[in-house]
Amino acid sequence: MYPQRQVYNDPQVQSQLPQRGFGYPSNVVNSGLTSDTAPIQTTMAASLSAGPPGGIATNIPGGVPAGTSSGPPPGASVSSGGAPNTNKALNDEKVYAWILELAYGPNKEQALLELGKKRELYDDLALVLWHSFGVMTSLLEEIVAVYPLLSPPQLTTPISNRVCNALALLQCVASHPDTRNAFLNAHIPLFLYPFLNTSSKQRPFEYLKLTSLGVIGALVKNDSPEVVSFLLTTEIIPLCLKIMESSSELSKTVAIFIVQKILFDDSGLAYVCQTFERFSAVSNVLKSMVEQLVLQPAPRLLKHVVRCYLRLSDNVDAKKALKECLPEPLKDGTFSSVLVNDAATKRCLSQLLVNVSQE
Ligand code: TRP
């Protein structure tokens, strides 16, 4: 039991969450990116490659996790061993030309774009990026150059596009099994946190946030315990919680996906449930999301919310706390019409209710 459990019903604690409005950008809501059935990987891909009309759309090559894009050209191998040499970035002279351009200029912006396009062609681009002298430094320079524009908000669409292209290349490095650990050991995700922490609702900021979430999402996608234990040493959970409360629906979806992945890791669940403060920070945000979902249904978000609650109920202390704080709409059938075509989530919800009613 949590030592401060009596605080649980304290209205002051309950009301700590700001009750903000959820202004969904119309380009996100109307773009079909939030279809209920596609898996989260597709959401992230769609969110990162679709972008605003006439804006980032064509400029973000990134965000498409390996295997969900249009796929390699005929004859390309998607396995890292034994691929025909012709489909290796290592053998593409143009890749080297753009790498040089990225490291030394003067055409860095185009290099970001061109290399981004190549990431869907070659499965070894991450290795070439990581091991080429000056490339990672150049990418980090692109990122820190934008920091002064975050506050007061001065980010323009072209600048946001440019840094999103750099982030797409970082995502490529974050996704590759042979570069992921080096990427973590260099603590590169920390460079994205200022982007995740912005609260401007302007489109260039929202897309920068979404693209940054995509990099973290790519890291957690493969259920690697190293990734989770790295993220637990950082402030990613509070950052995601903040986004889950107040950003666009797409950003919320990727943020809750990251939190869900952390919770599904045993050490992640133990970490979040270790103190009442952590548990209640998570459960308060989930509760606020449920309240919003009652007013504005979003089946995909609901699905993640239910899974997060269900996973929390695997922890003994959290289960006890949930007996008292599980939001009413999850218990009284409010969402049965939303879940009518989602048997898996319905099952998760019933299981959750069984878990919290057990002694
Ligand atoms: N450093 C904070 C902690 O360890 C991180 C944190 C803040 C956090 N809010 C959280 C972690 C909510 C998990 C859940 O508590």
Q: How many residues does the chain have?
A: 359
Residue 161 CA to ligand 1 center (angstroms) comes to 31
Residue 3 to residue 78: CA distance in whole angstroms: 51
Whose Cα sits closest to atom 2 in ligand 1? 235
pLDDT for the residue 27 = 23
Q: Which two tokens stand for residue 265?
A: 């890791």
Question: CB-based burial of residue 244 (10 Å sphere; 0-12 exposed, 13-18 middle, 19+ buried)?
Answer: buried
Residue 325 CA to ligand 1 center (angstroms) comes to 19
Counting Cα atoms < 13 Å in the Cβ hemisphere of 323 gives 13
pLDDT for the residue 87 = 82
Whose Cα sits closest to atom 7 in ligand 1? 238
In the block, which residue shows the tokens 């290349």? 169
Pocket (CB within 6 angstroms of ligand 1): 235, 237-238, 272, 278, 281-282
Residue 177 CA to ligand 1 center (angstroms) comes to 28
Looking at the chain, list the stretches that DSSP marks H as alpha helix, in order from N- to C-terminal side.
11-14, 26-29, 40-50, 93-104, 108-118, 125-131, 135-146, 157-175, 180-185, 193-196, 203-220, 225-232, 236-246, 249-264, 266-273, 276-295, 299-312, 316-325, 328-331, 343-357
pLDDT tens for each residue of 230-289: 999 999 999 999 999 999 999 999 999 999 999 999 999 999 999 999 999 999 999 999
Q: Phi and psi of 123, rounded to 5°? A: -85, -5
- Residue 271 CA: which ligand 1 atom is closest? 13
pLDDT for the residue 2 = 73
Residue 238 CA to ligand 1 center (angstroms) comes to 6
Question: What pTM value is reported for the model?
Answer: 0.80
Domains of the chain and any CATH numbers: 11-278 (1.25.10.10)
DSSP secondary structure string, 59-97?
A: G------TTSSS-PPTT---SSSS--GGG-GGG-HHHHH
pLDDT along the chain (359 residues), means of 10: 42 28 24 31 37 32 35 36 65 93 96 94 94 97 98 97 98 96 97 97 97 97 95 97 96 98 98 98 98 96 98 98 97 96 97 94
